[in-house]
Structure 1
Amino acid sequence: MSQFHQKIDPAALGKVAVLMGGSSAEREVSLMSGGGVLQALRARGVDAHAFDPAHSDLSELKTHGYSRCFIALHGRHGEDGTVQGALELLGIPYTGPGVMASSIAMDKIMTKRIWRFEGLPTPDWRLVASSAETARAFKELGAPMIVKPSREGSTIGLTKVTSLGQCEQAYLLAAQHDPEVLCEQFIDGDETTCPVLGQGEGAQALPVIRIEAPEGNYDYQNKYFTDVTQYHCPSGLPGEEERAIQELVVRSFRTLGCRGWARADVMVRKSDRQPFLLEINTSPGMTGHSLVPMAARAQGISYEDLCLRILASASLDALQGRAQD
């Protein structure tokens, strides 16, 4: 990870806005992520300030002289390409993937279509628009089946369906958050996640984290607000399996055109140890429970240095295009 141990001059990064809060269903988690990032950047000598788009207009970033943004927003209007597009128009470099990669990655169905087209393994799925279609998907995909909104994160609106009678309630819950509802084949096995840092050929995976949640229920509460979920990093998986997961997530990252950082979730099927991509998060959590900092620590990168490295990678799609000319 030599590129992430290079010397960075905090003063050269200018006045920095840490975008946090926002208006999505993940506002509470975003405030925790942003608070941690803000404290870490200040500890490294960065002129960093909190900026909540729910309370301040993004145009103020320009009028107040911000030179770059660390995006610690989660969910809609944070990692779906909309904020990224606004920052492109303002000409202010930002962390994480650009407009198109962010918008695609936020849409789980579009992400899966691209991965499938590129030959990357992802569980079978159906896009449904009613409880009747959900019941039909259940008959086709089998039990258990995951029902979730296509464009939400943090397992919001997700149900693990084990019987036909649960389909209607599962659909209605997911549809509260998004008219596009995804029914996905459940993969029985080890739940893992793996961050990627960098860009293009320089993108590298951090160590894999294996997740053990109570009764396999890695929901919103167990993700952020309890200490009962166990995280294993080192993962304890055979070295060959760990390397296969890392290679897969780097390919998934590059395939969607991501840059800077992201974190992909992968299930390893118990029966044959085949890894399956579930989704990729382009603005991962940075809270005390978050997994990118955990994997970075296992690589010898402190939370503060991780934040600094991510901030230093801030860019614009326009700059990326010029670099390739």
Structure 2
Amino acid sequence: MPSHHPTVAVLFGGANSEHDVSVRSARDAVDTLRGQGFVVRPVGIDRDGIWHATEVDALPTLAGVSGANAATHRLRGPRPELWRGVDVVFPLLHGRYGEDGTVQGAVELAGLPYVGSGVLASALAMDKRMTWRVATAAGVPMVDTRAVSDLRGLPEAVRGMPLPLFVKPNRAGSSVGAGLVDDLGALAPAVRVALAHDSTALVQPAVRGDEVSIGVYRLPGGRAMATGPSLVRLAGGSAFFDFDGKYGGGETTIEIPGPVEGGILDRLRELALVAFDAIGAEGLARVDFFVTARGEVLLNEINTMPGLTAGSHFPRLCAADGLDYAGLLRMLVERALAVGPR
């Protein structure tokens, strides 16, 4: 790290459906980094994609102040003055236009180090269809996945797939636009919902099993570490771990550490590290799996910038392994500085 306290630009918000999740993450991260002596410069991205130098809670009041034409002619993105004096960027963004490699490319053009995965790994993880291709090529078992871009191709895409089916957008997170289909009459409406969030919808056979996650992070020296497991406990009639379960304060809980048998845990950790390396991930990721009643482990998806409030899933996985929230954020910044500009 530099001899002075590094100046960290924390990017938050974003022009996507996960804007509010990012704001929550940033609120905790900014306060915690400042509490450790870092100079923090929050940079908020409003829902129109306009960037603002602003404190976290002031962002809503700035939406639209860049001029009536700013959003309509889509001159969006960072202004050069936002990078002045910055040592490292923390792109605490979730979903498209943030976690998908676009912002990572902008930071690389600015010549600055940044926390987390690079352009290619971010894009691969956001595109679940590409994650499936890369992970399976690396020997990581995944759920059978079919892609559709319009309803005309739906009958052929799902031919031979047993009910129930799980439908989700190809490029989205936090279970936005996802749904469980128990009968074929509900399939087309579910695909329409998914296509409202992305140009491609994915259809998978619903896996009956436990939802288990492993956290992966790189130490400043480069060694990748896998945490212990979490186990999602669905409640309140939820059929899957949906957006309300994750962020709505409902009855669904995440048990950490999850009660996972030793041999399966070893397999989960091994596959999490293989998947992390297969896409070329950097910094951190939460790797989500299904574990069936027969003990089969199937990769669901890789989240290269999971929620990072103090009480979020990934920080809790790290805390259970002895890495508290403040230490996690500090380590991520130190790792970014060790990697340097990309």
TM-score (norm 2): 0.86
Deviations 1:255-293 (A, max 9, x none): 0001111111100012x1111001101111012541111
Identity, in percent, stands at 34
Is the CA contact 2:138–2:274 (under 8 Å) kept in the aligned structure 1? no
Aligned with residue 276 of structure 1, among 298, 311, 320:
298
Cα distance, 1:140 vs structure 2: 2.0
Q: Does 1:219 align with 2:242?
A: yes
* 1:49 paired residue number: 41
Which amino acid in 1 is paired with 2:228? Answer: P
Aligned with residue 333 of structure 2, among 311, 317, 322:
311
Secondary structure of residue in 1 paired with 2:93: coil
* 1:202 paired residue number: 223
Aligned with residue 129 of structure 1, among 129, 144, 149:
149
Aligned with residue 35 of structure 1, among 19, 24, 27:
27
Cα distance, 1:70 vs structure 2: 1.1
Q: Report the RMSD for the aligned CA atoms in angstroms.
A: 2.0
Which amino acid in 2 is paired with 1:311? Answer: V
* 2:55 paired residue number: none
Aligned counterparts, 1:171-210, within 5 A: 171-198=191-218, 202-210=223-231
Is the CA contact 1:26–1:75 (under 8 Å) kept in the aligned structure 2? yes
Deviations 1:141-197 (A, max 9, x none): 211111111001100000111110011100100000111111112211110111100
Secondary structure of residue in 2 paired with 1:182: strand
* 1:147 paired residue number: 167
Q: Does 1:299 align with 2:321?
A: yes
* 1:258 paired residue number: 281
Runs of 4 or more above 6 Å deviation: none
CA distance in 2, matches of 1:278, 1:39: 32
Q: Does 1:169 align with 2:189?
A: yes
CA distance in 2, matches of 1:225, 1:31: 15
Aligned counterparts, 1:79-118, within 5 A: 79-118=99-138
Count of aligned positions = 311
Which has the larger helix fraction? Answer: 1
Cα distance, 1:135 vs structure 2: 4.0
Is the CA contact 1:125–1:141 (under 8 Å) kept in the aligned structure 2? no
CA distance in 2, matches of 1:269, 1:201: 33
CA distance in 2, matches of 1:157, 1:141: 21
CA distance in 1, matches of 2:186, 2:2: 53
TM-score (norm 1): 0.90
Q: Does 1:76 align with 2:76?
A: no
Secondary structure of residue in 2 paired with 1:286: coil
Is the CA contact 1:99–1:317 (under 8 Å) kept in the aligned structure 2? no
CA distance in 2, matches of 1:302, 1:316: 21
* 1:323 paired residue number: none
Q: Higher mean Cα deviation, 285-294 or 79-88?
A: 285-294
CA distance in 1, matches of 2:339, 2:119: 7
* 1:3 paired residue number: none
* 2:58 paired residue number: none
- Structure 1: give runs of 5+ residues left out of the alignment: 1-8, 321-325
CA distance in 2, matches of 1:63, 1:318: 15
Cα distance, 1:62 vs structure 2: 5.3
Is the CA contact 2:244–2:250 (under 8 Å) kept in the aligned structure 1? no
Q: Does 1:247 align with 2:247?
A: no
- Structure 2: give runs of 5+ residues left out of the alignment: 53-76
